[in-house]
Amino acid sequence: MKCAVYPGSFDPVTFGHLDIIERAAALFDKVVVCVMVNYKKKYIFSEEERAALLKESVAHLPNVTIECFSGLLIDYMQKNNYRVLIKGLRNSQDFEFELSMERVNRHLCPEVETMFLMADNTHSYLSASVVRELMAFGGEVSDFVPPQVAEALRIKYGKDRAK
Ligand code: PNS
């Protein structure tokens, strides 16, 4: 069985993440989306909340599962005997950063292969931080995240429900 792991913060999951998940799910027998800790980030949603929103958002994809792990990605891969990592790239900045991550991870465990999927053009400017900022200042996020995520954001930021 060909299995791939798509790790990330998902704070919250966006249509950009979902596009990568759907495309990976079409390429692999099984895709594990792993909610992890990026030690540079402060999260607005807890690990459980991020995983729950992901679970709802991928309910239409039978070969996708959601897991959580707070440790080194390579430890998670080795512990579960996973061999393929998926990363999404939007631009050359993402590429530079993910290249260094790939090199560290390859150094730690050469058996794990990182594969990159380019973001669809329609999502190339989209990020979870843009979504959070829009929501914090009362902007509309329904073009960028699934309805249940938009609702969770409204609750988190104490905004009125959608009319
Ligand atoms: O969505 P993000 O925040 O860009 O995802 C980054 C993430 C969580 C995949 C990355 O920070 C990560 O792999 N965290 C786990 C710790 C680790 O293994 N870091 C890489 C080696 S230093």
DSSP result, 112-160 = PEEEEEEPPGGGTT--HHHHHHHHHTT---TTTS-HHHHHHHHHHTTPP
Is 50 exceeded by the pLDDT of residue 102? yes
Tell me what the mean pLDDT of segment 54-77 comes to. 98
- Per-residue pLDDT of 1-17, as tens digits, reads 999 999 999 999 999 99
Single-letter residue type at 94? D
Ranges 61-65, 78-82, 156-160: which has the least confidence: 156-160
| Best residue for ligand 1 mutational test, from 11, 17, 40, 72 (most atoms within 8 Å of Cβ) | 72
| Best residue for ligand 1 mutational test, from 73, 95, 130 (most atoms within 8 Å of Cβ) | 73
State the closest ligand 1 atom to the C-alpha of 73, by its place in the atom list counted from 1: 18
Give the Cα separation of 5 and 84 in Å (integer): 6
Between the CA of 38 and the centroid of ligand 1 the distance, in Å, is: 5
Residues within a 6 A CB radius of ligand 1? 7-9, 36-38, 41, 72-73, 101, 104
Q: Are 98 and 116 in contact (CB under 8 A)?
A: yes
Strands 30-35 and 64-68, how do they pair? Answer: parallel
Tell me the percentage of the chain whose pLDDT exceeds 90.
96
Ranges 92-101, 119-128, 129-138, 154-163: which has the least confidence: 154-163
From residue 83, how far is each of 6, 47, 112, 158 by CA, in Å? 12, 24, 5, 41
User: What number of other Cβ atoms are within 10 A of residue 158's Cβ?
Assistant: 6
Is 80 exceeded by the pLDDT of residue 148? yes
pLDDT of residue 108: 98
Q: Are 121 and 91 in contact (CB under 8 A)?
A: no
Give the single-character DSSP code of 41.
Answer: -
pTM check: above 0.85 = yes
Work out the pLDDT band at 159, boundaries 50, 70, 90.
Answer: confident
Between the CA of 11 and the centroid of ligand 1 the distance, in Å, is: 13
Work out the pLDDT band at 160, boundaries 50, 70, 90.
Answer: low
Residue nearest to atom 9 of ligand 1 (CA): 8
Residue nearest to atom 16 of ligand 1 (CA): 72
Residue 10 burial (C-beta neighbours within 10 Å; 0-12, 13-18, 19+): buried
Between the CA of 100 and the centroid of ligand 1 the distance, in Å, is: 11
